């Protein structure tokens, strides 16, 4: 999942002071709620309210997880929506627990925990397998799609680097320094390139064998959120556009001067900022959860084929995360 995710709410907690070298902690406890939503019509089928410290989501085959700033993971059944477990995974941290990725190779999840630690937990018992530090301020993590050579990629804000971590040993393999701090990233299905949103220009990073290299993509607008479209070579992104966002499908990274074709298409303006994003497993739709202000978030359904907004609903609260289950049910996390 790439929800762009992301120097937004949680990342701001890591970077409140320019040049600070430690994670910043806060005393405010969030009270979260999860709207469980049918796709693609965006009808709400169930709501779970008053989850203390709720911060991020992870959808698995038959359950979903809620990470909290209290250092716990709460497990819910995907059919009954009943709570089936609560696990302590680390110390309380109001700036942690904001990003979770599932590794099918190891049947484990990785989560950015307290003070920049990355914690690996076994599924489904949530036993801690490892806890390690790659950089001071990780703001995004992604599991590479190559099953034979599995890697975890970590975006470091203070260091302005992308780190490659070998799954299994969780040792650092390579890194690439960028001109500006990364905020979100998505990896090609072709497994050789990732597109990275930063506080500056958009960057493409090569992850083929050898040194990791970056290239500034100055023909792209700045990316606010990005998601790989499953089973396709394209990506869907939200670009920064003045006081709003613009959702589009990215077709290629570089201009084709022989047969001129756009690098991205299907541009539609969406309201709000602080965008979270996910996509259907069949690549038909992408969904974006954005903040409108006045404690209201908006969820939109974007058709990746005809490039239209098929529906939208407004939700109470500040957006914190957006996930889609393997069966196509949306989980939208907001907080008062």
Helix (H, G, I), strand (E, B) or coil at 6: coil
Residue 232 φ then ψ, to 5°: -150, 170
pLDDT of residue 19: 36
Inside any domain, residue 132 = yes
Residue 186: exposure state from Cβ atoms within 10 A (0-12, 13-18, ≥19): buried
Q: What is the CATH number of the domain that holds 325?
A: 2.130.10.10
pLDDT of residue 261: 72
Rounded to a whole number of angstroms, the CA Rg of the chain reads 18
Inside any domain, residue 4 = no
Share of the chain above pLDDT 70, in %: 90
**What range defines the domain where residue 182 resides?**
9-335
CA distances from 283 to 187, 189, 230, 286, 317 (A): 15, 12, 5, 8, 28
pLDDT of residue 30: 78
Model's pTM, two decimal places? 0.90
- Please give the sequence-ordered ranges of beta strands (E in DSSP) within 128-256, or none if there are none: 128-132, 138-143, 151-156, 161-166, 171-177, 182-187, 193-198, 203-206, 213-216, 223-228, 235-241, 244-250
Cβ atoms of 189 and 233 within 8 Å: the answer is yes
Inside any domain, residue 191 = yes
Helix (H, G, I), strand (E, B) or coil at 96: coil
Domain count, the chain: 1
> What pLDDT, in 10s, does the model give residues 298-334?
999 999 999 999 999 999 999 999 999 988 899 999 9
Structure tokens at 125: 């018992």
Residue 179 in this model has a pLDDT that exceeds 50: yes
Inside any domain, residue 170 = yes
Inside any domain, residue 144 = yes
Inside any domain, residue 3 = no
> What pLDDT, in 10s, does the model give residues 192-214?
889 999 999 999 999 988 899 99
pLDDT of residue 259: 66
Cβ within 8 Å of residue 327, ≥6 positions away: 78
C-alpha 105/C-alpha 168 separation (Å) is 9
């Amino acid at each position: 999942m790439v929800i762009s995710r992301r120097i937004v709410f949680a990342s701001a907690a890591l970077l409140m002071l320019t040049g600070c070298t430690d994670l910043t902690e806060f005393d405010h406890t969030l009270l979260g709620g999860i709207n469980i939503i049918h796709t693609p019509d965006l009808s709400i089928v169930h709501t779970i309210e008053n989850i203390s410290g709720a911060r991020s989501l992870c959808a698995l085959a038959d359950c979903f997880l809620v990470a909290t700033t209290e250092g716990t993971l709460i497990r819910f059944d995907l059919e009954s929506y009943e709570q089936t477990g609560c696990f302590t995974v680390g110390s309380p941290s109001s700036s942690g627990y904001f990003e979770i990725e599932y590794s099918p190779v190891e049947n484990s999840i990785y989560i950015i925990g307290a003070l920049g630690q990355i914690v690996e937990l076994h599924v489904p018992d949530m036993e801690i397998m490892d806890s390690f530090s790659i950089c001071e301020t990780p703001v995004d993590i992604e599991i590479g799609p190559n099953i034979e050579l599995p890697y975890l990629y970590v975006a470091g804000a203070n260091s302005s680097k992308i780190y490659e971590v070998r799954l299994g040993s969780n040792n650092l393999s390579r890194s690439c320094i960028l001109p500006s701090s990364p905020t979100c990233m998505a990896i090609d299905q072709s497994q050789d390139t990732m597109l990275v949103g930063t506080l500056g220009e958009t960057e493409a990073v090569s992850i083929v064998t050898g040194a990791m290299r970056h290239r500034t993509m100055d023909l792209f607008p700045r990316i606010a959120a990005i998601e790989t479209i499953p089973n396709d070579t394209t990506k869907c992104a939200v670009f920064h556009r003045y006081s709003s966002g613009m959702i589009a499908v990215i077709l290629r990274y570089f201009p084709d001067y022989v047969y001129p074709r756009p690098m991205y298409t299907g541009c539609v303006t969406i309201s709000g900022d602080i965008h979270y994003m996910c996509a259907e497993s069949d690549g038909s739709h992408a969904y974006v959860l954005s903040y409108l202000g006045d404690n209201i978030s908006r969820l939109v359904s974007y058709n990746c084929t005809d490039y239209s907004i098929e529906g939208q609903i407004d939700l109470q609260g500040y957006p914190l995360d957006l996930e889609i289950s393997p069966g196509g049910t949306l989980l939208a996390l907001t907080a008062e």
